[in-house]
Structure 1
Amino acid sequence: MSARPTTTPLRRINRPQHFMAARTISALILREMTTSYGRSPGGYLWALAEPALGVALLSAIFSIGFRNPMLGTNFAMFYATGLLPFLMFNDLSTKTAQAINYSKQLLAYPRVTFIDAIAGRFILNFLTQILVCFIVFSGITLCFETRTTLVWETLMSALAMTACFGLGIGTFNCFLMSMFPVWQRIYSILTRPLLLISGVIFTLEAVPQPYQNWLWYNPLVHIIGTVRAGFYNSYDATYANPIYVYAISILLGFFGLVFLRRYHRDIMEL
């Protein structure tokens, strides 16, 4: 009588949840790269051309009417220190706000969550904007005598504030724009003056009272002031308060996540 062959049951490999989330986010990042930059001619070159042309245009316009910029001796560097953090915030907040609408079909899969969609879009666009800043600032430094000294700690602090504020606004708007599509147009109208009231083309000290006190409540003023303090040793942005920027960012991001967790099923049915 022959012995029955024994079979060893297959074990299911249980991978950690954070590993599965990392794989999902990586897949979403690759998809974003293909759809956003891979299909259009030029791809990543357009992400670089937009801020570079913006800085060049502002420099050309204001150099006609003014002899020197408000800080330093180079118009291109002065406006780059204002325009690039503004464009970074605008890109991060806009792309993050559209994360659910952009990945709505993929969210039907149980392993893909709205947090994965937000994280994937945010990470890719943040890295893209960091690359844009590095190339534009390096190009200006190589082409002109800017008389600036880079303070890395201050600049890193400003980039962290920009990322946090863009993520916070984007997460909160992700809920509002997904739940109430009309909010996208309302937000676009409300934020059109931001370029003029965020200190991109001037410093806060140049604004008369009481408007200077009013503009202080704009977190972008703190971010741009910190960026300029990181390039110009003579500029001491004492008004810049990182705690204020982080508090606003965390508050908006927290409520955005709470509302998305509560209503994400309703959003998927819209």
Structure 2
Amino acid sequence: MMSLAVNSLLDARCSRLRGRLVEFRRIMRAVLVQDMRTRFGTSHIGYLIAIGWPLSHMSVITLVYLLRISIAPVGDSPTVFVATGIVPYILCFYPARLLSMAIPQNRQLLNIPVIQPLHLIFSRCILETLNAVIVLALFMFAISLFDVDILPPDTAEASKAIVAAVFLGIGLGFFNVMMCALVGQYFMLFFLLAMLGLYLISGAYLPPNMIPSSLREYMAYNPLTQLVEWLRSAYYASYDPELINKSMIYWVGGISFTLGLVGERCLRGRILS
């Protein structure tokens, strides 16, 4: 008799959980579609512009570098060297920036009782992750058209570095949502300047082993430096992936993500206002 009661209780809870998951998936699908329509409109041109913006960002920086530098500091291809420096930055920067705009751009959806701010944020996470994959694929395809071997010898390590870059961007994006709720959208100006400064000292243009040791110690605390070094370790045998502080990337992304979730819960009144 006791086992029947326990099984009945478990079945009831599992049924409620399945119902909530189905409802959450339905809400996320609707919010995702509406988010795409809000940002890109009903035509495909808007989405192409959204893809083209980070893609052009990466292409312009690569082209400017190649016009100035003809010999790579590491390896034989200056294109591969600069590409491995810009890709982690773009894949981290754009999700972090655009996640902070998820609620302001879709605030009208919060008038629907079943939709919460987290639905808007998670739908933007899905969209930005897909965008990052598409942008990276198009960028690599464009480089390969110029007879540049852009595929890394260690595909698994490169994939891990790319996933870590997107994860860090999403974590920072959640943190940005909380900070924008606290101090307003002016916080994004600070974030943009901070990311630009971190990028310039990340070793994207000059490898850390060519920088004085006194400055190299400070670069070790830059998560973008660790991302660039991680990705380059998949391309160059001179880079030892075991010396890269991968845990720092996960800690920074994870703590930012957690603070964003807690902040969304505690500051929901400000977010909704």
Q: Aligning the two structures, in what range does the TM-score lie when normalised by the shorter sequence?
A: 0.7 to 0.9
Structure-1 separation of matches of 2:73 and 2:241? 14
* Pair 1:119-2:122 in alignment: yes
Correspondence for 2:24: 21
Deviation at 1:88, TM superposition (A): 1.3
* Percent identity over paired residues: 23
Describe the superposition over 1:82-103 as per-residue Cα deviations: whole angstroms up to 9, x where unpaired.
2122111111101112222222
Correspondence for 1:197: 201
Describe the superposition over 1:99-153 as per-residue Cα deviations: whole angstroms up to 9, x where unpaired.
2222222123221122211110011111111111112113313422437534221
Correspondence for 1:221: 225
Structure-2 separation of matches of 1:147 and 1:165? 23
Where in structure 2 are there 5+ consecutive unaligned residues? 1-14
Structure-2 separation of matches of 1:249 and 1:27? 28
Letter in 1 for 2:131: T
SS in 1 for 2:240: coil
SS in 1 for 2:36: helix
CA spacing shift, 1:186–1:53, aligned 2, 3 Å: closer
* Pair 1:243-2:247 in alignment: yes
Deviation at 1:55, TM superposition (A): 4.4
Structure-1 separation of matches of 2:194 and 2:152? 36
1:91 to 90, 94, 109: 94
Correspondence for 1:34: 37
Deviation at 1:237, TM superposition (A): 4.1
Moved more, 97-106 or 217-226: 97-106
CA spacing shift, 1:180–1:138, aligned 2, 3 Å: same
Describe the superposition over 1:171-219 as per-residue Cα deviations: whole angstroms up to 9, x where unpaired.
1110111232132233333333233122222222222121111011111
Where in structure 1 are there 5+ consecutive unaligned residues? 1-12
* Pair 1:178-2:212 in alignment: no
Structure-1 separation of matches of 2:199 and 2:43? 27
Moved more, 258-267 or 121-130: 258-267
Deviation at 1:238, TM superposition (A): 4.1
SS in 2 for 1:231: coil
Deviation at 1:234, TM superposition (A): 4.1
CA spacing shift, 1:108–1:171, aligned 2, 3 Å: same
CA spacing shift, 1:197–1:117, aligned 2, 3 Å: same
Rg larger for: 1
Structure-2 separation of matches of 1:212 and 1:223? 15
How many residues align structurally?
257
* Pair 1:252-2:256 in alignment: yes
SS in 2 for 1:89: helix
Trace 1:126-165 onto structure 2 (pairs within 5 A). Answer: 126-146=129-149, 149-165=152-168
CA spacing shift, 1:266–1:44, aligned 2, 3 Å: closer
Structure having the larger proportion of residues in helix: 2
Contact residue 82 and residue 224 of structure 1 kept, 8 A: yes
* Pair 1:169-2:172 in alignment: yes
CA spacing shift, 1:212–1:52, aligned 2, 3 Å: same
